[in-house]
Structure 1
Amino acid sequence: MLRSALRSFSSSSTTTRRTFSRSAIMSVPIPNDFNKDLYVPLAQADPEIQALVDRETYRQFRGLELIASENLTSLAVMEANGSIFTNKYSEGLPGARYYGGNEVVDELEVLCQKRALEAFHLEPKTWGVNVQPYSGSTANFAAFTALIQPHDRIMGLELAHGGHLTHGAFTPKRKISASSIYFEPLPYQVDPVTGLIDYDALEKNVKLFKPRIIICGASAYPRDWEYARLRALADINGSYLMMDMAHISGLVAAQVQNDPFEHCDIVCTTTHKTLRGPRAGLIFFRKDKEADLEKRINDAVFPACQGGPHNNTIAGIAVALKQAATPAFREYATQVIKNTQTIGEELVKHDYKLQTDGTDNHLVLWDLRPLGLTGSKIEKICDLAHITLNKNSVPGDKSAATPGGVRIGSNSLTSRSMFEPEMRTVADFLHRAVQIGLQAQKEAGSKLLKDFVARLQGDGEAAKALAQLTKDVHEFAERFPLPGVPDSASIKRVE
C-alpha cells in the first residue's frame, strides 16, 4: 500500500517539480533583512570555516589515506548528503511519521531500502533493512536492543585480536562500551600462532557460555569468515548469529568476499569504509526468523536508541548503494583486494611480519614488535609525512596504550585510481618510514615517545630523511585526482 501510494505521489507531483525549478526559487525576492544571511554561500558567510574546508581538501589531496575504516566518497554522494533533505524532521517510518510533510522523504527512504536489498543481492520477501541508524555503532546497539535483554550473554571477537569496541569490549578494570555495560560478554580469540580465528576454541566456549548472540565481523582481521561453521555454532544453543560487516560491506556487495546473508540472522554495517558512502549505518534482518523481528528492529532504532533520521544522509546512502550495484564498483572492490595484497607482499619482501602472513580483504595488520618499534611511533612518523594510518593492537600485546602494530587499508588509494605499481611505491614509503623510525630511536637513545618525536623534529639524519619522504609523498599524491572534487588541479594550496 505504501509503495503504491508513493508511486501515486510521484506521478501526481511531476508537474509540480517541473514548474518550480531551482533558478525560479532563487529569483523570489528576500522579504526581510534578518534572513539575508540564509542565502549567502559558505565562503562569504563564514570564511573561517571555508578556510578549514580548504585546508582539509588540500590535506587529503597531497597525502595518502591508508586508514582501513576510511574512504573517499563520490561527488554525487556529497551533493546528496549536503542537500535540502537536511531540513526535514521525520521521526517514524515511511507511511507512519510523527510529523507531516514527509511525502518526499517517505519516497526517499523506501528507495534507499530497495537499493540496499538490491546492492546486496537480497530478496525482499526474505530480508528487510532499516536505513536510519546514525552509525555502525548505533546499528549494532539497536540490534542488541531488539534481540536480547540486559545481562544476556554475547560473544564477539576480542578487541585486541581484531574485534570492535561494540562487540563487548572490556578490560579487567573497565567496561569500555555499552555492549559490555548492559550485556555479559565473553570474547573469542585468534590462534596465537596463525592469527586466524580459533573456531575450535570458540566451539568449546559456546557450549559452556551459551551466548544469546554470536557476533562475527572485525575491525582489524585480514581474512574472510567461515559463516557456515559459525551458523553451526550458533545452532548449538539456539543463538542468534549477527554479522558486523562494517569493514567489508563493499566487498560483500561486490561478491568478492563470502556472503554473510546465507547464514546470519542479522547483518549490520556502516555505509562508508569499503561501501564508499556517507557515514551512517544499516541493519538487515531476516523476515522469516521471527514473526515480530522487523517491528523489534524498527522500534529499537526509533524510539529506543535514537531520534529522527538524518534524511540528507539517507539520500547519500541511496546514491552510494546505486553506485555499489554497478559493474564498475565490482571492479573497484576487486582492485582493493589486489592493492592490499600488493602492499602486503612488498612489506614481506623486506622481512616484515604481517598478521596471518597476508590478507584476503582491504587491510593488512603489520606487526612491528620484531623491530622494537611501537605502532604509535610509526603512526607519528607517517602523520608527519602525510601518510595517514593508525596504530593498532596485535594479538599478544600486553597494553593497548602501546600497541605493537599498525593497520593499513587500500580503500581510499584505490578510489584515487591507484593500482599495483602505485602500491609498490606506497609500500616503499612505509619501509622508509620504518627505517626513519629506527634511526630516530637510535638518535634519541631512549624508547620514550617524546624523545622520539624530538629527533624527528630536530636536525639529525632521521629528520632529514623524514623531510625527503614528505616531499616525495606530496609529489606522488598530487598526481592522482581526489574524488568528490571535479577539478583536482584547482585545489587551493593551503599550508
Structure 2
Amino acid sequence: MSDVNPANPPASGAETLAKTASTAYDAALEVIASVEPRVAEATRKELADQRASLKLIASENYASPAVLLTMGTWFSDKYAEGTVGHRFYAGCQNVDTVESLAAEHARELFGAPYAYAQPHSGIDANLVAFWSILAHRVETPTLERLGAKNVNELSEADWETLRHEFGNQRLLGMSLDAGGHLTHGFRPNISGKMFHQQQYGTDPETGLLDYDLVAAKAREFKPAILVAGYSAYPRRVNFAKMREIADEVGATLMVDMAHFAGLVAGKVFTGDENPVPFAHITTTTTHKSLRGPRGGLVLAQEEFAADVDRGCPMVLGGPLSHVMAAKAVALAEARQPSFQVYAQDIADNAKALAEGFLTRGGKLVTGGTDNHIVLLDVTSFGLTGRQAESALLDAGVVTNRNSVPQDPNGAWYTSGVRLGTPALTTRGFGRDEFDKVAELIVEVLSNTTPNSTKAGAPSKATYTLADGVADRVKAQSAELLDKHPLYPGLELS
C-alpha cells in the first residue's frame, strides 16, 4: 500500500504516475468515443467543470485515479450473488479475493469485528442493516420457538404471523429538518413506510442534540431500532450516550456514519465520538469524507454478522464486483498515515469556513461546527435555500440547499445551504482559502435579491444576482483553484 494523497501526490514518482494516468484516460476515452462520442465528450467536460468550480457539497469528494480506474475493469461483467466462498454462480474466485480484501481493510480501518462490502449505496447499506436487525430480533427467535430451520418450513399461518411482526416494528431516528437522513424514518422514504416510526429533533434554541429529550422519547416510544447519525448536523455525537439510551429501552443501536466515516477512519472522532464500538450495526458510504467509490459498507458486532452476511439475497441482488474492488483500493489508501492528516484538515477547514461566515455576519445552525459540515441559514440574506443554491452556482460555487430545524420553507425550498469541506481539502485548500471561500459566498448572497411573484409577494425560487458579481467571484475562485489543481499532471489530449 502506498502513502498517497490523490490531490497532492509526493514529488517522487508523481510525474510518472500522472503521465501513466493521462495515458490510461486518453486511451479509455478514445475507445468510448469510437462507440458513443457524446459520452466521451460529456466525460471530458465533467472533469473540466469539476476543475473549474468550488465544490462544497458535503456528500461529494474526489477519488484517486487508482480508485477510479479500478471501477473500469472486467469485474463489471461478473455475477456473484452470495458471499465469499458460497456463491450462486461458478467462477467467482477473483471476486472472492477483492471482496475479502475490501472487508479486511474495512475491519482493520474501523476496528470492527465484521464488515460487509456488498451494498451498492448508503441506502442499500441501511436496508441491509434494517432487515438484518429485524431478522435477528424477530425472525430468528420465531424460528427457534417453532422448531423451523428457515422461513420455508413455516406453515402459512405462522408465516403470516411473522410477516405481521416484521411490519409493525418501531424505529426512532433523527428528523430530516434536524439533520437526519431520508432513510432514518422519513415518511415518504421506504424506511418511513416499513416501520412504525417516530423521530427526535434538536433543541429549538441551540439546534443541538439533547440526549435527555432523546432518552425521554425512547422511553415513551420503545423502539426496536434507535438510529443515530446524520446528514446535515454540524456537530459531533456522543455514541456512548446513544448506546445507553438504546440499552435502557431494549433497542438495537444502528449508526449511519456515511457523512463522517472519513473522520472516524482518520481518528478525528475517537472515544465516545467513534460509533463503531457502541453501535450494534454501523453503516456508511465509501465516498463522501472516506474519498472512495460510490458504494456502501455495513460494519457489525459479531452477534449480527450472520444476519448481515445474508444481505444477498435478503435485500441485495448481484454485488458490483468492480466497485467492491475499488472499495478495497480506497480503504487501503485510508489506512495510510497521510489520511489521518487529511481527516484533521477536513475538520480544521470546516472551522475556518464557519468562522469566516460568523465574522462576516452569517448565521449558522448551532452557531458553528466541529465536523465537516457548515449549515448556513440564508434567511438572514432574505433568501430561500433554493435561491441561494442557484445564485451560488451562477458564480461557480457548487452547494446544495438544505432544511434547517423547524424550517418555515419546507424541504423543497428550504432556508439553508449545506457546505462541506472534504472535496476542497482533497485539492489542498487550507484555512486561509476557506476563509476566502466564505467571503466569496457572502458576496454572492449579499448581492442576490428575490424576485416578486405576479401577486407581488417575494418569490421563493427566482432571484436576481447583481451585474458583475458572478464574473468577479468566478475570477477570484479561479485564482484559488489554480493554486490547487485537481488531479495535477493529469492531462487529456
Counterpart of 2:132 in structure 1 is 146
Q: CA deviation at 1:39?
A: 12
Counterpart of 1:55 in structure 2 is 45
Counterpart of 2:308 in structure 1 is 297
Counterpart of 1:129 in structure 2 is 115
Alpha carbons 2:60, 2:288 under 8 Å: kept:
yes
Alignment partner for residue 196 of structure 1, among 174, 197, 208?
208
Counterpart of 1:24 in structure 2 is none
Taking the TM superposition and a 5 Å limit, the aligned residue runs for 1:458-477 are 462-477=466-481
Q: CA deviation at 1:474?
A: 3.1
Counterpart of 1:233 in structure 2 is 245
How far does the alpha carbon of each residue in 1:7-32 deviate from its partner, in whole angstroms, 9 at most, with x for none?
xxxxxxxxxxxxxxxxxxxxxxxxxx
Write the distance in 1 (CA, Å) between the matches of 2:377 and 2:32. 44
Alpha carbons 1:266, 1:286 under 8 Å: kept:
yes
1:217 maps to a residue whose letter is G
Q: 2:178 aligned with 1:161, yes or no?
A: yes
Structure 1 residue matching 2:96: 3-state secondary structure: helix
Alpha-carbon spacing, 1:409–1:450, altered in 2? closer, same or farther (3 Å): closer
Counterpart of 1:274 in structure 2 is 289
How far does the alpha carbon of each residue in 1:416-462 deviate from its partner, in whole angstroms, 9 at most, with x for none?
01111111111111111111214x6599986215651xx34xxxxx0
Write the distance in 2 (CA, Å) between the matches of 1:69 and 1:178. 21
2:51 maps to a residue whose letter is F
Alpha-carbon spacing, 1:139–1:191, altered in 2? closer, same or farther (3 Å): same
Counterpart of 2:73 in structure 1 is 83
Write the distance in 1 (CA, Å) between the matches of 2:362 and 2:300. 41
Counterpart of 1:243 in structure 2 is 255
Q: 2:489 aligned with 1:487, yes or no?
A: yes
Alpha carbons 1:58, 1:491 under 8 Å: kept:
no
Q: 2:411 aligned with 1:400, yes or no?
A: yes
Structure 2 residue matching 1:187: 3-state secondary structure: strand
Alignment partner for residue 42 of structure 1, among 32, 53, 57?
32
Counterpart of 1:34 in structure 2 is none
2:307 maps to a residue whose letter is R
Alpha carbons 2:259, 2:289 under 8 Å: kept:
yes
Write the distance in 2 (CA, Å) between the matches of 1:467 and 1:449. 24
Structure 2 residue matching 1:133: 3-state secondary structure: coil
Taking the TM superposition and a 5 Å limit, the aligned residue runs for 1:324-339 are 324-339=334-349
Structure 2 residue matching 1:216: 3-state secondary structure: strand
Alpha carbons 1:218, 1:244 under 8 Å: kept:
yes
With 267-276 and 221-230 compared, the bigger mean Cα shift is at 221-230
Q: Please, which runs of 5 or more residues in structure 2 have no aligned partner?
A: 1-27, 135-165
Write the distance in 1 (CA, Å) between the matches of 2:341 and 2:133. 36
Write the distance in 2 (CA, Å) between the matches of 1:491 and 1:420. 31
Q: CA deviation at 1:313?
A: 0.2
1:204 maps to a residue whose letter is A
Normalized against structure 2, the TM-score is what?
A: 0.84
Alignment partner for residue 226 of structure 2, among 211, 214, 221?
214
Write the distance in 2 (CA, Å) between the matches of 1:364 and 1:141. 28
How far does the alpha carbon of each residue in 1:102-126 deviate from its partner, in whole angstroms, 9 at most, with x for none?
111111111111111111133xxxx
Structure 1 residue matching 2:443: 3-state secondary structure: helix
Q: 2:394 aligned with 1:384, yes or no?
A: yes
Alpha-carbon spacing, 1:375–1:297, altered in 2? closer, same or farther (3 Å): same
Write the distance in 1 (CA, Å) between the matches of 2:86 and 2:277. 31
Q: 2:361 aligned with 1:351, yes or no?
A: yes
Alpha carbons 1:121, 1:253 under 8 Å: kept:
no
1:265 maps to a residue whose letter is H
2:484 maps to a residue whose letter is F
Q: CA deviation at 1:305?
A: 1.4
Q: CA deviation at 1:43?
A: 2.8
Alpha carbons 2:171, 2:223 under 8 Å: kept:
yes
Alpha carbons 2:63, 2:291 under 8 Å: kept:
yes
Alpha-carbon spacing, 1:389–1:91, altered in 2? closer, same or farther (3 Å): same
Alignment partner for residue 277 of structure 2, among 254, 262, 267?
262
Alignment partner for residue 90 of structure 2, among 92, 100, 117?
100
2:57 maps to a residue whose letter is I
Alpha carbons 1:354, 1:364 under 8 Å: kept:
yes
List structure 1 runs of 4+ shifted beyond 4 angstroms: 440-446
How far does the alpha carbon of each residue in 1:97-148 deviate from its partner, in whole angstroms, 9 at most, with x for none?
11111111111111111111111133xxxx1111000001011011111112
Alpha carbons 1:68, 1:410 under 8 Å: kept:
yes
Alpha carbons 2:183, 2:189 under 8 Å: kept:
yes
Write the distance in 1 (CA, Å) between the matches of 2:397 and 2:380. 22
Q: CA deviation at 1:40?
A: 6.9
Alpha carbons 1:416, 1:482 under 8 Å: kept:
yes
Write the distance in 2 (CA, Å) between the matches of 1:335 and 1:410. 9
2:296 maps to a residue whose letter is G
Structure 2 residue matching 1:231: 3-state secondary structure: helix
1:277 maps to a residue whose letter is G
Structure 1 residue matching 2:314: 3-state secondary structure: helix
Alpha carbons 2:383, 2:460 under 8 Å: kept:
no
Counterpart of 1:433 in structure 2 is 444
Alpha-carbon spacing, 1:350–1:40, altered in 2? closer, same or farther (3 Å): closer
Alpha-carbon spacing, 1:39–1:239, altered in 2? closer, same or farther (3 Å): closer
Alpha-carbon spacing, 1:68–1:39, altered in 2? closer, same or farther (3 Å): closer
How far does the alpha carbon of each residue in 1:131-185 deviate from its partner, in whole angstroms, 9 at most, with x for none?
0000010110111111122220001100011000000002xxxxx1111111111
Q: Please, which runs of 5 or more residues in structure 1 have no aligned partner?
A: 1-37, 171-175, 457-461
Structure 2 residue matching 1:478: 3-state secondary structure: helix
How far does the alpha carbon of each residue in 1:46-100 deviate from its partner, in whole angstroms, 9 at most, with x for none?
2111110011111000001100011111011001111221111111111111111
Alpha-carbon spacing, 1:442–1:478, altered in 2? closer, same or farther (3 Å): farther
Write the distance in 2 (CA, Å) between the matches of 1:136 and 1:238. 26
Alpha carbons 2:387, 2:462 under 8 Å: kept:
no
How many pairs align? 430
Alignment partner for residue 448 of structure 1, among 455, 459, 481?
459
Q: CA deviation at 1:471?
A: 2.9
Write the distance in 2 (CA, Å) between the matches of 1:436 and 1:45. 46
2:428 maps to a residue whose letter is S
Q: CA deviation at 1:402?
A: 2.3
2:274 maps to a residue whose letter is D
Q: RMSD between aligned alpha carbons?
A: 2.0
Structure 2 residue matching 1:41: 3-state secondary structure: helix
Alpha carbons 1:441, 1:447 under 8 Å: kept:
yes
Write the distance in 1 (CA, Å) between the matches of 2:453 and 2:406. 28
Write the distance in 2 (CA, Å) between the matches of 1:184 and 1:392. 26
Structure 1 residue matching 2:309: 3-state secondary structure: helix
Alignment partner for residue 478 of structure 1, among 476, 479, 482?
482
1:271 maps to a residue whose letter is T
Alpha carbons 1:436, 1:466 under 8 Å: kept:
no
Alpha carbons 2:395, 2:473 under 8 Å: kept:
yes
Task: State the identity as a percent.
Answer: 37
Structure 2 residue matching 1:159: 3-state secondary structure: coil
Alpha-carbon spacing, 1:166–1:348, altered in 2? closer, same or farther (3 Å): same
Counterpart of 2:352 in structure 1 is 342
Write the distance in 2 (CA, Å) between the matches of 1:43 and 1:181. 44
Q: CA deviation at 1:375?
A: 0.9
1:247 maps to a residue whose letter is H
Write the distance in 2 (CA, Å) between the matches of 1:95 and 1:165. 34
